[in-house]
Amino acid sequence: MARPAACLFDLDGLLLDTEPLHAEAWQRAASRFGRPLTPTELMALRGRRRLDCADAVLGWISGSGGPELSREELLAVRQPIAEALLVHAPPMPGAQALVERCRSLAVPMALATSSSRSAVDLKAGPHPWLGGIAVRVHGDDPELQRGKPAPDVFLLAAARLGVKPSHSWAFEDSPAGAAAALAAGCRVHVLPPAHLDREALERDYPGIQTFLSDLHQVVALLN
């Protein structure tokens, strides 16, 4: 198999095991306002930008008869919870080996994340190996017009590396992120949540052919 022109990586749930922590923070914040979130709703938040998630949660709270809140009021509760949790996020299995393998092979890399720059700095602080990915597109990047599931983040990441999206491998875990990478024209590798069965994968990740059990599989492909 030919090596990719570049590897475009999501961060949350792909390189770092943050998604259960994000879910806990949203759950605790929404519950504070009397509206616990369902597993389906938590899955829908996965991979999206913070403000897009906040808007969805606000709609669920108000739609069930809860208080009419602003983004600021919701995030004032959610952010301290998230920040306290996320600094403890461990790497996903094989993530560090994959990044280091790409570096050793001189395969260009970019981060294509919905997280803001400050959030990435917080989560990446304990993981110096993430410094090997110098090109980054954050969720609050001034050049980013639309968040996932729109393809913009992957198109911008590929452009900054000077490669064609169609010659790149994109790595995602969330349905929103997978849809974004697919729409950008990348070859998409998905590391889905372990609890999803085949029926759920087909429902939540339409058009995706390559599912991974861990990132060590990709290290082997690049050998």
Do the strands 168-172 and 187-190 form a parallel or antiparallel pair, or are they unpaired? parallel
Segment 68-90 mean pLDDT: 96
The answer to whether residues 204 and 47 touch, using CB atoms and an 8 Å cutoff, is no
- 126 secondary structure, DSSP code: T
Burial letters 77-95, b for 16+ CB under 10 A, else e: bbeebbeebbeebebbebb
- Residue 44, token pair as written in the block: 């829908």
Report phi then psi at 51, rounded to 5: -70, -35
User: Residue 93: CB partners within 8 Å, gap ≥ 6?
Assistant: 214, 215, 216
SS3 of residue 7 by DSSP: strand
pLDDT higher than threshold 80 for residue 66? yes
Q: Which residues are catalytic?
A: 10, 12
Q: What are 99-155's pLDDT values in tens digits?
A: 999 999 999 999 999 999 999 999 999 999 999 999 999 999 999 999 999 999 999
Segment 172-189 mean pLDDT: 97
C-alpha closest to that of 136 among 162, 156, 155, 112: 112
Segment 38-57 mean pLDDT: 95
User: Residue 134: CB partners within 8 Å, gap ≥ 6?
Assistant: 109
CA separation for the pair 220, 189 (Å, rounded): 14
The predicted structure's pLDDT at residue 215? 97
Provide the CATH topology of domain 19-86: DNA polymerase; domain 1 (1.10.150)
- Residue 138, token pair as written in the block: 């954050």
- Residue 54, token pair as written in the block: 């906040």
CA separation for the pair 125, 105 (Å, rounded): 25
The superfamily CATH assigns to domain 6-17+89-221 is HAD superfamily/HAD-like (3.40.50.1000)
Segment 213-222 mean pLDDT: 93
pLDDT higher than threshold 70 for residue 193? yes
The predicted structure's pLDDT at residue 2? 80
The predicted structure's pLDDT at residue 222? 87
Mean pLDDT of the residues in the chain: 96
Kind plus residue range of the DSSP H or E element containing 190: strand 187-190
Q: Return the domain boundaries, the chain.
A: 6-17+89-221, 19-86
SS3 of residue 176 by DSSP: helix
Q: What are 10-23's pLDDT values in tens digits?
A: 999 999 999 999 99
